[in-house]
Homo-oligomer: A and B are copies of this chain.
Amino acid sequence: MRNRLKVLRAERGWSQQDLAERLEVSRQSVNAIETGRYDPSLPLAFRIADLFGMAIEEIFQRGE
């Protein structure tokens, strides 16, 4: 899966740490998802979508 997390985060001027706190996950998890080392669980994908006010499909796309 590809994702637009890094862009969305940068648009808001947040560090990985900031985002991690808002999502209630570790900074390493945010980093791993951004760098494509793994995909988030479905519940976390929902929290991410909620935080950015978007649909999951607008943030995550197949590919890679």
A interface residues with partner B (beta carbon < 8 Å): 1, 39-43, 45-46, 49, 55-57, 60, 62
Could you list 11 examples of A-B contacts with CB < 8 Å? A1-B42, A1-B46, A39-B41, A40-B42, A41-B41, A41-B42, A45-B56, A46-B60, A46-B62, A49-B57, A56-B56
Total copies of the chain: 2
Report A14 CB to chain B, min CB distance, Å.
22
Cβ-closest chain B residue relative to A46: B62
User: How near does chain B come to A56, taking the closest CB pair, in angstroms?
Assistant: 5
Name the B residues within 8 Å of A56 (CB-CB).
Answer: 42, 45, 55-57
Interface-centre pick from A40, A41, A62 (highest chain B CB count, 10 A): A41
